[in-house]
Structure 1
Amino acid sequence: FTVLLLYFTSVSAACGHLREPCINVANGCESVWNVVEDVCNISVLGNKCKTEDAVGCNTIIQVLADKYPVLKNCVCTTDGFCSITTLLEKQCSINKDDVSMEAKLQWNLSTLSKQEHTANRTCLDVNKECVEDEVCNKQLSLYLKGCSVNKKCNMKECQAAIRFFYQNMPFEVAQTMTFCDCTQPDESCHRAKELLHGKPCAVTAVPTPSCLNVIHMCEENDWCRKKYKTFRSKCWRHVTKKCYDDEACLETLIRDDIPCSANAACQAAYMGTWGTVLRVECSCHHSPAAEQPLCELFQRLLHSKSCLS
């Protein structure tokens, strides 16, 4: 996809007009576009404004946007939803309100969309319920392809798949899946939990990064930084109010001085961090002594269970 990257960096931001210039140049762009077109079936039945499998296509688009940030202005909305519809928006005059509806409309056909969130569900039951539902099972299969344990893990692809999976389903369904757990040492349940929560591919890095580095990596990405800001303001309002981004101030806080709101808004903000580097398991074991207090503070902010119960 190197050719794709080079090509997109040289064209204008008028993304609706990418196809024709692409297929007319002799730099290999045509073959790359053909792959995208085959996957998305952009020209299905002669209609260049529709795709045959919008969900599968959008998964590819999300991965490409993650791989090549230059594409984000073309294929992603401000809330991080990336779509082939957005790419074709200008030439097709598609209403922007419809962009995020493609996958979401499919969920209206799911029996799960009518259920209310029930706390303390086991991940085995939740996974089984999803597999037995046609819509959920289809989207789960697409997500698992991005996090397949049968091939070499690509963390960014898996994280993109997680975002697409969780952000387009009804909130109550996402809430049930996100907060499912295993109350007993049940191996089947733990396997189901790992699948639903993107483990190990989306959350396990080798070597394990420090929690301080995880925060800094997130802050280098505009979209992740927004999710982190929301998470912190909804869950750790006291920290945000007192110190904001001042690390020197944060170092003065002690564990008992950072209460968590632990409410529904906090849970929603936490769910918004899924599929970002913020969910990567981190450690403070090898941090320099001077960084230990700050690292441990960030570790608590990111992984404390007190906000989620």
Structure 2
Amino acid sequence: MEGPHKDRNSNMCVCVCVCVCVCLLRCVTCSAPPPAAGWAGPPDCVQASELCNQDGQCSSRFRIMRQCLSGGERERSAMLGSRECRGALEVLQDSPLYRCRCRRAMKRELQCLQSYWSIHTGLAAGEEFYETSPYEPIHFSEEFRHASIISDSSLSRMSPCSEAGKPCNPCLDAAKACNLNETCKRLRSAYNSICSKTTPPQPGSPNQEPCSRKRCQKALRQFFERVPWELSYPLLFCSCPDQACAERRRRTIVPSCSHQERHRPNCLELRRTCRSDVLCRSRLADFHLNCQVTPHTVSGCPHDNHRGCLMSYVGLIGSDVTPNYSDNSPSNITLSLWCSCRGGGPQEEECEAFHRDFTHNSCLRNAILSFGYGSDGGPVPATEPASTFPPPVISKPAPSFHSNAIKPLDTACVFSTCANLQVSLT
């Protein structure tokens, strides 16, 4: 009798714990939110704001804080310095909102990000050069590291790039692989159609955009958010042996519409435009966090996490700071924003520093090379890039997701089997 009695008590304990957890996260059965001091925080800022709204003090301070952040930049700066705004911020720093984060492409992402910046914009003393990311951390994945060289030995023999004397275009192979998947094909065709459609000229509009830029960028965001990275990333980060392949890679996002403008804006003005939009501001902060050059790691990336950097880079595509390859060089990979720092005046140095986060970012470049060439993450030097950036050396064969082991690659054409990977397209 003693054993079953203990089991019943144990089960009751588990049930109580589960109920308490559900109560804290969903706020369905709670009569009031728990004290901030003993609360670990919800998984996202939407739930944190819902908890805050159930507490009178937190709710009133949250409304005050949103009023403090309304208006233009000058008005906002003056308001944040007032006693009422500082007092509201002090209260909110002890609330669930202070510790909340957002998940990428979550259902109510914009609402989540707005709640996050309602607190963290007030914490910044003026406009910081780098801001904290509102997104949950990106964990390193061995699966992601070796994704570019997944193949079955039988499929590898079918690849046209594996046959001697035939042209090799990994970017074309990545496009073929996308066309074998219904979702990838449909969304890729959608953004290509929107971004390639010329806008009829309007009289009296000398600075009219040649295409529907906002629609194009929205379609690009939908593509990268809804298509599995196993299919979308090879289009962006395919390794190229020649200029024809590199040009196809550069034109993946239809840069004439999504990336370029009639006139190059100042880079700091581009950053200000981005920070005025909640989504763009969040993606930029996430990029700076995950792609910051770290001299004490082998690859130059924080924790050697290539996945984090590439995910953050892709998150910028379709925003006001959409980056892209600056030319069609197959070996010297240079990425850039469509902006300039010429005539920047006293802020020219800050402008150049912001621009170099893309043009001279060894972490970002190493992450792209490591994905494209199938490196196991590390042989590329984490120093300032030279004029020509050699591909990383593959030190050992990467493990396959299939039962058959794959052979070490001796060519840069690592996406040649993608067109035949029926397994990864389901």
TM-score by length of 1: 0.51
Distance 2:238 2:190 in 1: 20
Cα distance change of structure 1 residues 295 and 289 upon mapping to structure 2, 3 Å threshold:
same
- Write out per-residue CA displacement over residues 162-201 of structure 1, whole angstroms, 9 at most, x where no aligned residue: 0001111112223222212533121xx3553244223111
SS of 2:241's partner is coil
- Write out per-residue CA displacement over residues 97-137 of structure 1, whole angstroms, 9 at most, x where no aligned residue: xxxxxxxxxxxxxxxxxxx7317973222123223444322
Q: Is 1:283 aligned with 2:339?
A: yes
Match of 1:167 among 198, 202, 225: 225
Distance 1:161 1:285 in 2: 29
Letter in 1 for 2:193: K
* Residue 242 (structure 1) aligns with: none
* Residue 264 (structure 2) aligns with: 208
Q: Is 1:158 aligned with 2:188?
A: no
Letter in 2 for 1:136: C
* Residue 230 (structure 1) aligns with: 286
Unaligned runs of 5+ in 2: 1-105, 112-145, 150-167, 200-209, 295-299, 324-336, 367-426
Distance 2:177 2:240 in 1: 15
Report deviation, 1:150.
Answer: 4.8
Report deviation, 1:299.
Answer: 0.7
Distance 1:305 1:126 in 2: 25
Distance 2:341 2:284 in 1: 23
Letter in 2 for 1:118: S
Cα distance change of structure 1 residues 293 and 128 upon mapping to structure 2, 3 Å threshold:
same
* Residue 308 (structure 2) aligns with: 265
Letter in 2 for 1:155: R
Moved over 6 A (4+): none
Letter in 2 for 1:217: T
Report deviation, 1:237.
Answer: 7.4
Report deviation, 1:233.
Answer: 1.4
Letter in 2 for 1:127: A
Identity among equivalent pairs (%): 24
Cα distance change of structure 1 residues 135 and 182 upon mapping to structure 2, 3 Å threshold:
same
Q: Is 1:176 aligned with 2:207?
A: no
* Residue 243 (structure 2) aligns with: 185
Check conservation: 1:127, 1:192, Cα contact below 8 A: no
* Residue 130 (structure 1) aligns with: 178
- Write out per-residue CA displacement over residues 245-287 of structure 1, whole angstroms, 9 at most, x where no aligned residue: xxxxxxxxxxxxxx65362211111111111111153333533
TM-score by length of 2: 0.38
Check conservation: 2:174, 2:238, Cα contact below 8 A: yes
Cα distance change of structure 1 residues 80 and 171 upon mapping to structure 2, 3 Å threshold:
farther
Distance 1:279 1:135 in 2: 23
* Residue 308 (structure 1) aligns with: 365
* Residue 117 (structure 1) aligns with: 147
SS of 1:139's partner is helix
SS of 2:214's partner is helix
Match of 1:141 among 165, 189, 195: 189
Letter in 1 for 2:254: G
Check conservation: 2:194, 2:216, Cα contact below 8 A: yes
Unaligned runs of 5+ in 1: 1-75, 82-115, 239-258
* Larger Cα-atom Rg: 2
- Write out per-residue CA displacement over residues 2-33 of structure 1, whole angstroms, 9 at most, x where no aligned residue: xxxxxxxxxxxxxxxxxxxxxxxxxxxxxxxx
Letter in 2 for 1:278: V
Report deviation, 1:304.
Answer: 3.7
Distance 1:129 1:181 in 2: 15
Within a 5 Å distance, the mapping from 1:44-83 to structure 2 comes to: 77-79=107-109
Check conservation: 1:202, 1:275, Cα contact below 8 A: yes
Letter in 1 for 2:178: C
How many residues are paired up? 179
Match of 2:274 among 208, 218, 222: 218
